[in-house]
Amino acid sequence: MKRKILLTAVLLLSVVCVAIAANQWANKTNTRSSDETVEAIQYPVKLVMELNKTTYSLGETVNITIKIVNISNSTIELGWQPPSIAMFTIYDKKNTTIYNSASASTLPVAITRLLKPEESSGEVLVWEQKDKEGNQVPAGEYHIVAETPTPYGGIGVIGYDPIHIKTPAITITIIGE
């Protein structure tokens, strides 16, 4: 009899613990900030793309924060060809490229920067909701992907092969007036 009561108590306690854990997990995953962030890793760096929201009015500027983070335990020397450490591409629902922020550099120089562990280098890039020809895109759903430039093999980290990283997409909605 005591064994049956003990087993019942253990089972009940287990169910309660699972229920509490599930509730905490559900609250955590359902609590979402207004920021949207995606990342991709290729050791020793992480590429991070952040937007402050995912719904925009037609013609509203979309600010895209892109940064490279040193995820190693030592200082690295990061190098890239100007103008940007990373670029972004806008795709429509059919996965057609609408816009790409990359512009080929004619500068014969590379930019280098030392990054301590967990330190980052980045910038805010802007999409004015224009297509490749400079026309306003229509209202609808678009996908934004960040990646390190590829004309020179990606970004350079001394002691590593060229690094080309591409983030998952963040989907945004542009609403008409």
> Residue 158: its pLDDT value, please?
73
Q: Name the residue with tokens 């002691």.
A: 159
Strand ranges in the chain using DSSP code E only, listed in sequence order: 36-42, 45-51, 55-57, 62-70, 76-80, 87-91, 97-100, 111-115, 120-127, 140-147, 156-157, 170-175
Helix (H, G, I), strand (E, B) or coil at 24: helix
Q: ∠ CA 122-124-129 to the nearest 5 degrees?
A: 145
User: 74 or 80, which is more confident?
Assistant: 74
Residue 6 dihedral angles phi and psi, to the nearest 5°: -65, -45
In this structure, CATH architecture of domain 36-175: Sandwich (2.60)
Grade residue 156 by pLDDT with cuts at 50, 70 and 90.
confident
Average pLDDT on 85-109 reads 81
pTM listed for this prediction: 0.74
- Decide if 148 contacts 80 (C-beta within 8 A): yes
Grade residue 86 by pLDDT with cuts at 50, 70 and 90.
confident
Work out the number of other CB atoms within 10 angstroms of the CB of residue 139.
15
Q: What is the pLDDT of residues 33-65, one digit of tens each?
A: 335 999 999 999 999 999 999 999 999 999 999
Nearest to 87 by CA among 150, 168, 157, 131: 150
